[in-house]
Amino acid sequence: MSKIYVVYWSGTGNTKSMADKIGEGIEAGGKEVQVTDVSDISPEGLKDEAVYALGCPSMGAEELEEDSMEPFVAGLLPFVAGKKIGLFGSYGWGNCEWMRDWEERLKKAGAEIVLEEGVTCLNDPDSETLDKCLELGKALAAL
Ligand SMILES: Cc1cc2nc3c(=O)[nH]c(=O)nc-3n(C[C@H](O)[C@H](O)[C@H](O)COP(=O)(O)O)c2cc1C
């Protein structure tokens, strides 16, 4: 049984709650899951994976978190062509520009975004968001 990685960065736990729920969805879909803080994995660790999820809140000014997630995503870009990637993250006040930019960046590099767009939520995930996270996990498991 193949393992599906859910790699995230989270400062105050909101995006981590989403990651954990996506992990539950993957397990409910019958696949093994590895929910991993981005500081515990390198881009090479995901290089050969066909399906995975990446999560990061909106940080900076509508950007990925700069110390860990941004270098990780930059390092992963050469390997994303043909990969199926679920995206997710929390935000505080913006209009989700960070997520649209992130999607575009990965699509330009040849990735397919699972469910066509990332799951976003304002601050801590409510039950509707957690349902979406569960669905994303199941969709990843079904690929
Ligand atoms: C330094 C910093 C920069 C942020 N920049 C943005 C931003 O540009 N747009 C936005 O909508 N939220 C922004 N936020 C709010 C976070 O995205 C929000 O608090 C989110 O829920 C944090 O998720 P986490 O608990 O997974 O860290 C920022 C928060 C911090 C601490």
Model pLDDT for residues 6-24, shown as the tens digit of each residue: 999 999 999 999 999 999 9
Task: Report whether residue 13 contacts ligand 1, using a CB cutoff of 6 Å.
Answer: yes
Task: Report whether residue 39 contacts ligand 1, using a CB cutoff of 6 Å.
Answer: no
Would you kindly state where each structural domain of the chain is located, as residue ranges?
Answer: 3-141
The answer to whether residue 1 scores a pLDDT higher than 60 is: no
For residue 25, what pLDDT is reported?
Answer: 98
Alpha carbons 11 and 92: distance in angstroms, whole number: 12
What's the pLDDT tens digit per position in 80-134? 999 999 999 999 999 999 999 999 999 999 999 999 899 999 999 999 999 999 9
For ligand 1, pick from 91, 101, 122 the residue to mutate: most ligand atoms within 8 Å of CB.
91
- Nearest CA owner, ligand 1 atom 29: 59
Distance 58 CA to ligand 1 centre (A): 5
- Nearest CA owner, ligand 1 atom 27: 11
Question: Architecture of 3-141 per CATH?
Answer: 3-Layer(aba) Sandwich (3.40)
pLDDT interval class at 54 (50, 70, 90): very high
Distance 8 CA to ligand 1 centre (A): 14
- 11-17 contact pairs (CB < 8 A, 24+): 11/57, 11/59, 11/65, 13/124, 14/57, 14/90, 14/121, 14/123, 14/124, 14/125, 15/55, 15/56, 15/57, 15/88, 15/89, 15/90, 17/124, 17/125, 17/130
pLDDT interval class at 58 (50, 70, 90): very high
The answer to whether residue 38 scores a pLDDT higher than 60 is: yes
